[in-house]
């Protein structure tokens, strides 16, 4: 079992990582208190009883609220449904919300926790690799509008994050592999030793070896904690967590969400960022090829599959990215494996020239 601390003054919290990990610091928030366990229909059916038993053993009075699985539940409509559930079960300012699930559930439940009665205690229990290494840590919560993703939200830190690695055993392979894109990203943006280790342990990663995963997930969470501690509200350094995301988000938007899973789109986006980095930032081509090879070796795409999204649509989508200023996308670019720069402006000619590099030949 490993613990990582996120140091944010009176909003500090621990992340517990390991098979069978359970709540520790947040126990006083549960004992004798109303607790609303929020999950989606898939995860509740698989893991709801186990989680409820853990919360009940901690002394909580547990009620459940379930939303349909899928990104469409990350909406104001389901926010309202969950406020109703919180009121129905008598949650007051001493109560607690527990988010059990992937990024959709964590973002939605965190937003409800952060706004219900101006904020009540909140515990994240991520069940996907993507949510463990990214969305459950750092306090970004929110929902989508028909006009775009994550347009409504609050920064609201959980009181504890509990990552029971046993939850990964039932994760479909495609979703698990999608999470590996964010794991590899941490090696590229911050930690060359982590990148070397991932290269040397592809078999253990793919076998979901829990001893190795515990070490890797803890390292990713420590990196995210280091970044968030320096820039909690996303005004500067935190942008580096979006390496590969300018193109990745554009691919998701243009292809229709779900055609590519998030990590798959980010994988292609990292290949694109690697090409830009080589030409604009001196990223050695040997490093770029290592990143592409590692992505491919775990089964992530390094080029478009099937019909390629049209360049004009991708370029337009990049203009709507939150990191774009006056229509000019700002890229996170690598200088070497383990080091990046953020806020980089790149010539329009270069931005367009590497589209061809993403088309499968």
Helices (H) and strands (E) in the chain, counts: 14, 11
Is residue 354 a contact point for ligand GLY (CB under 6 A)?
no
3 state SS of 36: strand
Q: What are phi and psi of 355, to 5 degrees?
A: -60, -45
CA angle 318, 291, 104 (to 5 degrees): 50
Residue identified by tokens 């911050």 is 190
Task: Collect all residues with Cβ–Cβ distance below 8 Å to 91 and sequence separation of at least 6.
Answer: 34, 36, 97, 116, 117, 120
Among residues 52, 107, 134, 164, the one that binds ligand GLY under rule CB under 6 A: 134
Given the rule CB under 6 A, which of 68-76, 134-142, 162-170, 353-361 is the region that contacts ligand GLY?
Answer: 134-142
Stretch that binds ligand GLY, among 5-13, 192-200, 233-241, 338-346 (CB under 6 A): 233-241
Work out the number of other CB atoms within 10 angstroms of the CB of residue 101: 32
- Residue 140 within binding range of ligand GLY, rule CB under 6 A: yes
- Name the residue with tokens 């601390």: 5
What is the nearest approach in angstroms of ligand GLY to the Cβ of residue 161? Answer: 13
CB-CB contact of 118 with 130 (8 Å)? no
CB of 90 to ligand GLY, least distance (A): 33
130 counts as binding ligand GLY under rule CB under 6 A: no
Q: Are strands 148-155 and 140-145 parallel, antiparallel or unpaired?
A: antiparallel
Residue number, 96 or 133, with CB nearest to ligand GLY: 133
Size of the site for ligand GLY (CB under 6 A): 6
Residue 326 to residue 5: CA distance in whole angstroms: 37
Site for ligand GLY contains 64 (CB under 6 A) = no
* Cβ proximity to ligand GLY, 9 vs 235, nearer residue: 235
State which of residues 17, 241, 247, 300 lies at the interface with ligand GLY (CB under 6 A): 241
Is 134 or 252 the residue whose CB approaches ligand GLY more closely?
134
Contact positions toward ligand GLY, by CB under 6 A? 134, 138, 140, 234, 238, 241
């Amino acid at each position: 079992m490993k613990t990582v601390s996120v140091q944010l003054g009176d909003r500090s919290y621990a992340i517990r990582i390991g098979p069978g990990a359970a709540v520790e610091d947040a126990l006083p928030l549960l004992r004798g208190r109303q607790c609303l366990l929020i999950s989606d229909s898939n995860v509740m059916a698989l893991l709801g009883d186990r989680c409820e038993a853990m919360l009940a053993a901690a002394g909580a009075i547990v009620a459940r609220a379930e939303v349909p699985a899928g990104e469409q539940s990350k909406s104001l409509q389901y926010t309202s449904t969950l406020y109703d559930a919180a009121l129905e079960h008598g949650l007051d300012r001493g109560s607690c919300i527990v988010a059990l699930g992937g990024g959709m559930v964590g973002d939605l439940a965190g937003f409800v926790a952060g706004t219900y009665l101006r904020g009540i205690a909140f515990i994240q229990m991520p069940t996907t690799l993507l949510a463990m290494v990214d969305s459950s840590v750092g306090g970004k919560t929110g929902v989508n509008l028909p006009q775009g993703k994550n347009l409504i939200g609050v920064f609201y830190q959980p009181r504890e994050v509990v990552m029971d690695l046993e939850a990964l055993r039932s994760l479909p392979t495609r979703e698990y592999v999608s999470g590996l894109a964010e794991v590899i990203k941490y090696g590229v943006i911050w930690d060359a030793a982590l990148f070397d280790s991932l290269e040397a342990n592809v078999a253990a990663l793919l076998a979901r070896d829990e001893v190795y995963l515990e070490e890797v997930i803890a390292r990713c969470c420590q990196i995210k904690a280091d970044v968030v501690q320096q820039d909690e509200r996303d005004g500067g350094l935190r942008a580096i967590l979006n390496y590969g995301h300018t193109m990745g988000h554009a691919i998701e938007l243009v292809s229709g969400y779900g055609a590519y899973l998030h990590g798959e789109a980010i994988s292609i986006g990292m290949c694109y960022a690697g090409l830009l980095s080589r030409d604009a930032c001196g990223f050695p081509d040997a490093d770029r090829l290592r990143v592409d090879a590692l992505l491919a070796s775990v089964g992530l795409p390094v080029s478009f599959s099937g019909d390629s999204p049209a360049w004009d649509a991708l370029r337009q989508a990049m203009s709507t990215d939150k990191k774009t200023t006056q229509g000019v996308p700002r890229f996170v670019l690598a200088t070497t494996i383990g080091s990046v720069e953020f806020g980089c402006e790149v010539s329009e000619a270069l931005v367009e020239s590497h589209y061809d590099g993403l088309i499968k030949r």
